[in-house]
Chains A and B, each alone.
Chain A
Amino acid sequence: MAAVRVEAVLAAAEEQEAEKRRSITVEKELELEYDLGNLLAVDRNPPPAAALRGAGQRREALLRALARDNTQLLVSRLWELPAERAGGAGGPLVAQLPEPTFRLPREKPPPKPRPPTRWEQFARLKGIRRKKKTSLVWDEQAKEWRRRWGYRRAGGDPSRAWLAEVPAGADPEEDQFARLRREKRERVARNELNRLRNLARAHRAGSAVPAAPLHPTGHQDRDELRRVARVARVSTASLGRFQPRLPKESAEPPSRSGGKKRRFEPLLGNLAAERSRQLEMLRDMGKKKPVLDITRAVNKQMRQEEAEAAAANKGKKQSKRGKRGRRQQRPGRSGKKSGARRQPQQQKPAGGGTGGGRRKKA
């Protein structure tokens, strides 16, 4: 009796131990993929079917259990990393994470390309390409390779030039050195001005022009494509006034203020012009309607056949050949000779007329 009870107690205790251990060991078919540098664990096991379908308590419980198991596996791996005590003996235990292997996507959007400067536009227009220049130039005077510009440049120090020739058409009284200095100052100022202008243009253009290229890449969303389509439509000589429209596009031209202010025709504008515009619109609308309306054609055919049937019924009393007589005659008429000839003739009208008439109106 006592032995049984002791055994029962031991078994219960062992089960409790196993329970505790079970909570830290997790069985998985496929091993998880770990990227401990990013604290990432990827579980490629297919989830239980009940976890995918529907919503409810059971699904929540299954998902929570799945999350718990995977977190347990990740944490056990983290515990296996080499760790040390930070800040001396009493500090917290810090694990040394390895390098991350998983490439995270960009956090912010990529930088927009800078718009070309005035010179770059001109060069592209003319087809001027950059000539690659050597960085060192041979200086005959010093008989060595000197820089093209800068400290100890090839042509000698310009501030130490002791001779400045008076050019052919210049004023003999003018100070050439002053002129050279002034021209250098002007060149520097002009360059600086152009640089600032290019910057301003780039800054301004960066906020107005869409960063997306004008051709579709397949990675653009609907708003971007719409914006790009609008830009493309307006880039014609007549600013998009005569561009054909897609069937579902609005008929109004895109306003310059971007839809903030609606502009209407004047109230008492040219009434004759308005009338002619409306008449033209009516003409266009009339042209679009299909010339052959199938239902009406079918109805007409049905009406015709009914009229014929009514007439035939009226004349049934008078002659033996009624509707039925006429129907029976047709296959009789196609004899051996005319049978081959009749076939192609009968097939064509059967498709359009009789077939259409006999068909029940949907």
Chain B
Amino acid sequence: MRPLTEAETRAVFEKLGKYIGENIQLLVDRPDGTYCFRLHRDRVYYLSEKLLKLAASIPRESLVAPGTCFGKFTKSQKFRLSVTALDFLAPYAKYKVWVKPGSEQSFLYGNHVLKSGLGRITENTAQYQGVVVYSMADVPLGFGVAAKSTQECRKVDPLAIVVFHQADVGEYVRNEDTLT
């Protein structure tokens, strides 16, 4: 386990910024405690100082996961956000997409969101903007990338993809073995 280098921190913040914008400050600087990011086996974890001190005394081979995993660095040093970060993205998300009850299941199985399944979308969403996907009952289901801007969403035909799927809570069941 080690702290992130400057380049790694920059990569993580850029990725998070795509979904929550300048609200990352609220993650870094929390009033209820000191939280930090640590890297363990190429995965980025978000944990409190208290937990960090406890985890520091566990040998590296035995440590499975300290704190919440936000994502991992691939072999070519690109940062990939995983669904376990959803709890921290959802409250601070800037652009949200609500999905109709009929196509919730489709999204939870890993498919993209089509125009026919789109319930609501935040105004001013740009194309390829990171969005967090909710059900109509405001339950966060996952996150993705907007395939079309809000303007275009109005004019496009019902079978076009409006949100590219990136992660959903169904992965907790599907990828149980590889998720940390």
Contact = CB atoms under 8 A, between A and B. Distances in A.
B122 interface: no
B149 A299 contact: yes
A250 B7 CA distance: 8
A274 B35 CA distance: 10
A303 interface: yes
Interface stretch (B48-56, B93-101, B131-139): B48-56
Interface residues of B, number: 30
Given A251-B7, A268-B56, A282 B34 contact: no
27 contacts: A251-B6, A251-B7, A252-B5, A265-B3, A266-B3, A267-B52, A268-B52, A268-B53, A269-B3, A271-B34, A274-B36, A275-B29, A275-B34, A278-B13, A281-B6, A281-B10, A282-B13, A282-B24, A285-B17, A295-B127, A296-B124, A299-B126, A299-B149, A299-B150, A299-B151, A302-B151, A361-B152
A279 interface: yes
Interface in B114-173: 124, 126-127, 149-152
A264 B28 contact: no
B9 interface: yes
Contacts of B124: 296, 299-300
B153 to A, nearest CB: 12
A285 B13 contact: yes
Interface string B2-25: 110111011001100100001011
Indicate the member of A282, A295, A302 with the most B CB atoms within 10 Å. Answer: A282
Q: Interface of chain B, helix or strand or loop or mixed? A: helix
A275 B3 contact: no
A303 B154 CA distance: 11
A296 B126 CA distance: 7
B17 A267 contact: no
Contact of B1 (A252, A267, A285, A296): A267
A279 B28 contact: yes
Interface residues of A, number: 27
Given A251-B10, A272-B34, A296-B124, 16 more contacts: A251-B6, A252-B7, A266-B3, A267-B2, A267-B56, A269-B3, A271-B34, A274-B36, A275-B28, A275-B29, A275-B36, A281-B6, A282-B24, A295-B126, A299-B124, A299-B151
B154 to A, nearest CB: 9
Contacts of A265: 2-3, 5
A235 to B, nearest CB: 22
Interface string B26-62: 0011000010101000000000010011001000000
A286 interface: yes
A266 to B, nearest CB: 8
Contacts of A281: 6, 9-10, 13
A266 B10 CA distance: 19
Indicate the member of A251, A271, A299 with the most B CB atoms within 10 Å. Answer: A299
Nearest to B14: A285
Contacts of A252: 5-7
A95 B25 CA distance: 86
Interface string A281-323: 1100110000001011001101100000000000000000000
B7 A264 contact: no
A205 to B, nearest CB: 32
Contacts of A251: 6-7, 10
B151 A361 contact: yes
A299 B150 CA distance: 9
A72 B14 CA distance: 68
A281 B1 CA distance: 22
Contacts of A271: 34, 36, 49
B2 A264 contact: yes
Contacts of A296: 124, 126
In the A-B complex, list the 3 residue pairs whose CB atoms are closest, starting with the nearest.
A265-B3, A264-B2, A278-B28
